[in-house]
Structure 1
Amino acid sequence: MEQQQLSHRLASDSDLDDLKLLMDAAIAENQKPFLTAEQISSSRAIMGLDSQLVADGTYFVVEIDGVLVGCGGWSRRATLYGGDRTPGRDAALLDPARDPARIRAMYTHPNFTRRGIGRLIMALCEAAAHKEGFREIELMATLSGEPLYRTCGYRAIERVEDARGGASVPLIRMRRPLEA
């Protein structure tokens, strides 16, 4: 099988509808081996599109032949995870000297998993955060994302359950230093 070329760019407002569709498909399908139907439904309330990332210019899309296959970003803001509708968001800016940057809203379309999309997005985010002076980076992983993040050098620092969407969804807070 021929290796298809991944291309990437920063997301724009014109991508928002397509991003929502990709995220919905990823939440619905990629978590099936890890969560119950009730937990997947609950995930929709605590995950999803954070349009602040697009506005901040820190959110990437990955395409193959012009087709959106993945997305993810990083943030210099305090919110660790969640979408536009998630309660408890905090847009305060982080201090790179003392706070870790955030990896945010990582999704791969279910038809394109295990093709290097997640690793590409992680590398782009880590390089951008490092360039802005951040020394550490952290994220809140789903069970389906945890293997990728461990492979990328992240370690679990806290396991939590988020039941704001109805059913309790297990999540893992993970962190790693950024290379000097």
Structure 2
Amino acid sequence: MDRQRNFLIKADIEAIHHRLTTYLKEEKDVRGYVDEKGWAHAPAHASDAVEDLAQSPYMDETALRELLDSLAVKITDSSAVYIHDEDQRIAHAVVSIVRCKLLNKSDLAAWIAALEQACIDQTGERSYVEISRISMNVRVFLQTLYLVIRKEEQDPFPLVRELVLNALEKE
């Protein structure tokens, strides 16, 4: 991105943000490695873009919340269990967002709670397999996020660590 020398203007960053959040919400192909074709890996590659975009000085609280919500869509996808380190890439994107220190405790708690709620079929519309996939993806993501931030002592990482650990203990 343009972290060393800002060459993108705010309108460029806003356009990238819009396209990226839309892509994360609408992309249906979550395959990782595809035999005879190579890497598809849309969730991982999009997470890398989120990691960079979050570091832009033009990102505000609303934009960061939208990035988190878009990542949650991928974490809670019921079409596949992630097996190609997608959890690592998404966790690093989340760390980049949290490191901005623009989100408050209620934002972070609500986001973790939304991940937990996705594991519960409140409408009866999802199959057992779909709920199992979502639960696996959420659990592995939270475990990975916990490990990634376990030694981070600057605020708000202790809070995030506590929220993640509480969510994992409910499993």
Where on the TM-score scale, by shorter chain, does this alignment land: which range? 0.3 to 0.5
- Normalised TM-score (structure 1): 0.36
- Normalised TM-score (structure 2): 0.37
Instruction: Give the helix-richer structure, 1 or 2.
Output: 2
Instruction: Give the strand-richer structure, 1 or 2.
Output: 1
Which is greater in Rg?
Answer: 2
